Amino acid sequence: MKYRHAYHAGNFADVHKHVALIALLRALQRKEKGFLYVDTHAGRGRYALGSGPARDSGEAQSGAVAVLAALRGSGSAPEELVDYGAVIDTWRRAADARHDYPGSPIIAAQLLRPQDQARAIESQPAEFEALRKALGRHSRVIAEHGDGYQRLRALLPPASRRGLVLIDAPYEDTRGDFRAAIQASRDALTRFEGCVIAIWYPVKDARDTDRWLQELARDLPRPALAAELWIHPPDSRAGLNGSGLAIVNPPYLFADRCDIWQAALRALLDPAGTGGTRVVSLVGESR
Mean pLDDT of 140-146: 94
168 as an active site residue: the answer is yes
Q: What is the pLDDT of residue 285?
A: 53
Stated as kind and residue range, the H or E segment containing 266 is: helix 254-269
Q: What is the pLDDT of residue 148?
A: 97
Q: What is the pLDDT of residues 228-270, one digit of tens each?
A: 999 999 888 778 999 999 999 999 999 999 999 999 999 999 9
Angle at which helix 79-95 crosses helix 104-111, to 10 degrees, equals 100
Angle at 194 between CA 192 and CA 196, to 5 degrees: 100
Q: What is the pLDDT of residue 58?
A: 83
**Total residues found in the chain within this entry:** 287
Q: Would you list the DSSP string of 33-81? A: S--EEEETT-TTSEEESSSHHHHHH-GGGGTHHHHHHHHHT-SS--HHH
Angle at 43 between CA 219 and CA 56, to 5 degrees: 120
The active-site residue out of 39, 168, 177, 270 is: 168
The region of weakest confidence among 52-56, 106-110, 241-245 is 52-56
Quote the CA–CA distance of 101 and 227 in Å, as a whole number: 23
Write the DSSP symbol of residue 271.
T
Q: What is the pLDDT of residue 247?
A: 97
Q: What is the pLDDT of residues 78-94, one digit of tens each?
A: 999 999 999 999 999 99
Q: What is the pLDDT of residues 175-229, one digit of tens each?
A: 899 999 999 999 999 999 999 999 999 999 889 999 999 999 987 889 999 999 9
Q: What is the CB neighbour count within 10 angstroms for residue 110?
A: 17
Closest CA to 147 of 128, 164, 161: 128
Q: Would you list the DSSP string of 89-153? A: HHHHHHHT-TTEEE-HHHHHHHH--TT-EEEEEE-SHHHHHHHHHHHTT-TTEEEEES-HHHHHH
Do the beta carbons of residue 244 and residue 203 sit within 8 Å?
yes
Q: What is the pLDDT of residue 286?
A: 44
Quote the CA–CA distance of 129 and 151 in Å, as a whole number: 18
Q: Annotate 260-272 with b (16+ C-beta within 10 A) or e (fewer).
A: ebbebbbebbbee
Q: What is the pLDDT of residue 1?
A: 45
**Residue-range domains of the chain with CATH:** 5-283 (3.40.50.150)
Quote the CA–CA distance of 72 and 84 in Å, as a whole number: 11
Average pLDDT, the chain: 92
Write the DSSP symbol of residue 228.
E
Q: How far, CA to CA in Å, does 283 sit from each of 167, 259, 286? A: 19, 18, 8
